Amino acid sequence: MASAPLADAMIPRPFRIQRLRKETADTFTLDLVPADGRETFSFAPGQFNMLYVFGVGEVPISISSDSGDSSALQHTTRAVGTVTNALQGLKKGDTVGIRGPFGSPWPVEEARGRDCVIVTGGIGLAPLRPALYFLLAHRESYRQVVLLYGARSPEDILYRRELERWRSKLDLEVRVTVDRAGGEWRGTVGVVPMLVRRAGFDPSNATAMVCGPEVMMRFTVRELESRGMEGRHIYLSMERNMKCAIGFCGHCQYGHTFVCKDGPVFRFDRIAAIFGKAEV
Amino acid sequence: MIENLERIIAEHSFFHGLEERHIRFIVGCAKNVRFEEGQVIFREGDPAVNFYFIREGLVAVELMVPHRGRTIVQTVAAGEVVGWSWLVAPYRWHFDGQALIPTRALAFDGKCLLAKCEEDHDLGYEILKRFSHVVSERLEVTRLQLMDLYGSVV
């Protein structure tokens, strides 16, 4: 999918907040509709937008809604900085600016006919949700579909109702783990990379899509490789300090690439040499 | 019965690659066990007599924390092993263990296995290599949990 034309790429388009929903103690989802009366735009799973809180600043946030549903754009994020805290303070009817969509998508087309393994942790589920929507909407095109998700605690599980709904589907394997839990939790406690060895997929015919904290992705890649997966079938969503979103400013340089333009989704074998390097 | 246990041991990933003679040698230390949901398998401070290879189910390794209640440190699933306190002095459990769902396991008598390992050091080395791997994995997981990767950035 092509990104926005350069001439328009730096001009934010006004979107109105249709709904602001609290997901967990520190995460929330914004449903946004165009404020200019025009249609919303199409995007591919994995792409992100720059959200502009007028007078405060701009921040890159992955699109977390269904790419097949153009009624509203959803963005789930965590209130961790000036802009995201300001976003959380907005209310229904307020206007934000949007530039996008930007960046590379998840390889949902290339993965047709293969097993798909989605491994994600924390807020990393948000950028992968559109990919999962896509896989489920085209379920007949894929073999096993596996979702492995890790959260800090049961209270921090994102999209909990949706996860429970997905888990009840007979053609989707969903495994959830938390780092810590009280005695009332009846599920798995441990880190998400360890779920890789328990999951039912064929490593010789699988595509993995991974998103989460970089350390979690490092250990996940190691587990995927130890099961026999090749780097060319493993895709990661990288995060760096994105500003312009069109590869001009250089803030998000990642080795020989710019995360905003060449990523955020990278094929692992193409970044293996720099992945996990402290200097990059 | 013994033949059946031999097959189960041989098929468990933990024993993958172990010589047949060794499996025959240790089968007398093993028995099949079943735990109901919520059943306590071991308690902190009790003598660590057995350890378990989970065949089916889920076991919580947990601690009772004052003012917080039961806190699950880790869960152990099918194909994995729980317990190495039988291997190191003072041979007492350091945590509580509870079946979260109906669980089937192979229980090994630690004292029996230690005696076999003393008798056959090749077997002892093989068992120790496998447990070192388990301990190393648990340490890695614990370190990752301690990093609180999904915690607040600020």
Q: How confident is the model at residue A242 (pLDDT cuts 50, 70, 90)?
A: confident
Predicted confidence at residue B104, as pLDDT, reads 96
Nearest to B86 by CA among B47, B116, B129: B47
Identify the closest residue of chain B to A151 by CA–CA distance.
B150
Q: Token pair 């060449």 is at which residue?
A: A262
Q: Is B141 on the interface with A (CB under 8 A)?
A: yes
Identify the closest residue of chain B to A183 by CA–CA distance.
B70
pLDDT at B3 exceeding the cut of 70: no
Chain B residues closer than 8 Å to A194 by CB: 137, 141
Residue B48 has φ and ψ, to the nearest 5°, of -85, 85
Q: Which whole number is the average pLDDT over A258-278?
A: 92
Distance, CA of A164 to CA of A252 (rounded, Å): 36
pLDDT at B11 exceeding the cut of 90: no
* Model pLDDT for residues A61-105, shown as the tens digit of each residue: 999 999 999 888 999 999 999 999 999 999 999 999 999 999 999
Predicted confidence at residue A7, as pLDDT, reads 59
Is B153 a member of any domain? no
pLDDT at A4 exceeding the cut of 80: no
Predicted confidence at residue B154, as pLDDT, reads 39
Is B72 a member of any domain? yes
DSSP-assigned beta bridge partners for residue A60: A50
Distance, CA of B89 to CA of A253 (rounded, Å): 53
Of B69, B147, B152, the CB nearest to A183: B69
Interface mutation target, options A155, A156, A186, chain B, most CBs of B under 10 Å:
A186
CA distances from A227 to A22, A95, A195 (A): 37, 47, 12
* Model pLDDT for residues B83-127, shown as the tens digit of each residue: 989 988 899 999 999 999 999 999 999 999 999 999 999 999 999
Distance, CA of B107 to CA of A176 (rounded, Å): 27
Identify the contact set of chain A against chain B, taking CB-CB distances under 8 A: 26, 78, 80-81, 121-123, 150-152, 156, 177, 179-183, 185-191, 193-194, 198, 212-213, 215-216, 219
Is the bond leading into B90 cis (omega within 30 degrees of zero)?
Answer: yes
CB neighbours of residue A68 within 10 Å: 12
Chain B residues closer than 8 Å to A196 by CB: none
Quote the number of domains for chain B: 1
Q: Which whole number is the average pLDDT over A15-32?
A: 95
Domains in chain A: boundaries? 6-102, 115-237
Q: Is B73 on the interface with A (CB under 8 A)?
A: yes
Distance, CA of B152 to CA of B115 (rounded, Å): 49
Identify the closest residue of chain A to B61 by CA–CA distance.
A189
Q: Could A189 and B77 be called an inter-chain contact, meaning their C-beta atoms sit closer than 8 Å?
A: no
Lowest mean pLDDT among A30-34, A128-132, A247-251: A247-251
Distance, CA of A60 to CA of A99 (rounded, Å): 9
Chain B residues closer than 8 Å to A220 by CB: none
The three-class DSSP label of residue A16 is: strand
Q: A221 versus A3: which is more confidently predicted?
A: A221
Q: Which whole number is the average pLDDT over A257-268?
A: 93
Of A81, A190, A215, the CB nearest to B141: A190
Interface mutation target, options B59, B134, B137, B144, chain A, most CBs of A under 10 Å:
B144
* Model pLDDT for residues B97-107, shown as the tens digit of each residue: 999 999 999 99
Three-class SS of chain B: CHHHHHHHHHHCHHHCCCCHHHHHHHHHHEEEEEECCCCEEECCCCECCEEEEEEECEEEEEEEECCCEEEEEEEEECCCEECCCCCCCCCECCCEEEECCCEEEEEEEHHHHHHHHHHCHHHHHHHHHHHHHHHHHHHHHHHHHHHCCCCCCC
Is B24 a member of any domain? yes
Averaged pLDDT of chain A: 93
Do residues A127 and A119 make contact, with C-beta atoms less than 8 angstroms apart? no
Terminal-to-terminal C-alpha distance of chain A: 28
pLDDT at A214 exceeding the cut of 60: yes
Do residues A151 and A187 make contact, with C-beta atoms less than 8 angstroms apart? no
Chain A residues closer than 8 Å to B148 by CB: 152, 179
CA distances from B46 to A155, A201, B30, B91, B132 (A): 33, 40, 20, 9, 23
Of A81, A156, A191, the CB nearest to B141: A191
Q: Is B79 on the interface with A (CB under 8 A)?
A: yes
CATH of A115-237, one of 3.40.50.80, 3.40.50.300, 1.10.150.120, 3.40.1110.10: 3.40.50.80
Residues of chain A with pLDDT > 70, as a percent, come to 98
Q: Which whole number is the average pLDDT over B114-142?
A: 94
CATH number, domain at B113?
Answer: 2.60.120.10
Q: Could B72 and A152 be called an inter-chain contact, meaning their C-beta atoms sit closer than 8 Å?
A: no
Q: Chain B closest CA to A151's CA: distance in Å?
A: 7
* Model pLDDT for residues A123-157, shown as the tens digit of each residue: 999 999 999 999 999 999 999 999 999 999 999 99
Q: Could B154 and A81 be called an inter-chain contact, meaning their C-beta atoms sit closer than 8 Å?
A: yes
Is the bond leading into A101 cis (omega within 30 degrees of zero)?
Answer: yes
CA-based torsion, A81, A157, A189, A171: positive or negative? negative
Query: Beta A173-178 vs A188-189: how paired, if at all?
Result: parallel
Q: Token pair 């995007």 is at which residue?
A: A43
Is B44 a member of any domain? yes
Quote ipTM for the complex: 0.87
The pTM is what? 0.91
Distance, CA of A15 to CA of A139 (rounded, Å): 32
Nearest to A78 by CA among B150, B98, B50: B150
The three-class DSSP label of residue A155 is: helix
* Model pLDDT for residues B23-32, shown as the tens digit of each residue: 999 999 999 9
Chain A residues closer than 8 Å to B69 by CB: 182-183
Q: Which domain holds residue B101?
A: 2-147
CATH of A6-102, one of 3.30.420.40, 3.40.50.720, 2.40.30.30, 2.40.30.10: 2.40.30.10
Is B38 a member of any domain? yes
Residue A210 half-sphere exposure toward CB, CA atoms < 13 A: 28
Q: Chain B closest CA to A217's CA: distance in Å?
A: 11
* Model pLDDT for residues B39-82, shown as the tens digit of each residue: 999 999 999 999 999 999 999 999 999 988 999 999 999 999 99
Chain A residues closer than 8 Å to B140 by CB: 219
Q: How confident is the model at residue A5 (pLDDT cuts 50, 70, 90)?
A: low
pLDDT at A277 exceeding the cut of 90: no
Where residue A159 falls (left for φ over 0; alpha for ψ -120 to 50; beta otherwise) is left
Q: Is B134 on the interface with A (CB under 8 A)?
A: no
Q: Chain B closest CA to A182's CA: distance in Å?
A: 4
